[in-house]
Structure 1
Amino acid sequence: MTQVIVGENEGVESALRRFKREVSKAGIFNDLKRIRHHETPVEKYKRKQRLKNRTKRRR
């Protein structure tokens, strides 16, 4: 679970920005999109292949 602690002199806007950044880093939105809609086995296979290719490129 993503948490952001707001400092004493920190504005709400900057805390919200930090929260959005943390959520995107954690990949929560991508998981929600995947869970909300049915994913066919072919789509699942293609998604895993794309992830696999990304990790290969980084090495």
Structure 2
Amino acid sequence: MSQVTIGENEGIESGLRRFKRQVSKAGIFAELKRLRHHETPVEKYKRKLQQRLRQRRK
């Protein structure tokens, strides 16, 4: 769960921008999209391949 604390002199827009960036990095939208739609075997293979490549880089 992502959470952003907005400072006293900080605008709502910048806080919203930080929240969106944090959610994007956490992969929440990708997970939602994956759970909502049917995944073909080819898409599943490509997704797992991308995960392995990401893990190898770390």
For normalisation by structure 2, the TM-score amounts to 0.82
2:9 aligned partner, one-letter code: N
Name the structure 2 match of 1:30: 30
Unmatched tracts of structure 2, length 5 or more: none
Q: Is 18-27 or 31-40 further displaced after alignment?
A: 31-40
Question: How far apart, in 2, do the equivalents of 1:2 and 1:54 lie?
Answer: 22
Q: RMSD in angstroms over aligned alpha carbons?
A: 1.5
Question: How far apart, in 2, do the equivalents of 1:30 and 1:55 lie?
Answer: 17
Unmatched tracts of structure 1, length 5 or more: none
For normalisation by structure 1, the TM-score amounts to 0.81
Once the two structures are TM-superposed, the CA of residue 40 in structure 1 deviates from its matched residue by: 2.7
2:21 aligned partner, one-letter code: R
Once the two structures are TM-superposed, the CA of residue 46 in structure 1 deviates from its matched residue by: 2.4
Once the two structures are TM-superposed, the CA of residue 39 in structure 1 deviates from its matched residue by: 1.2
Question: How far apart, in 1, do the equivalents of 2:52 and 2:40 lie?
Answer: 18
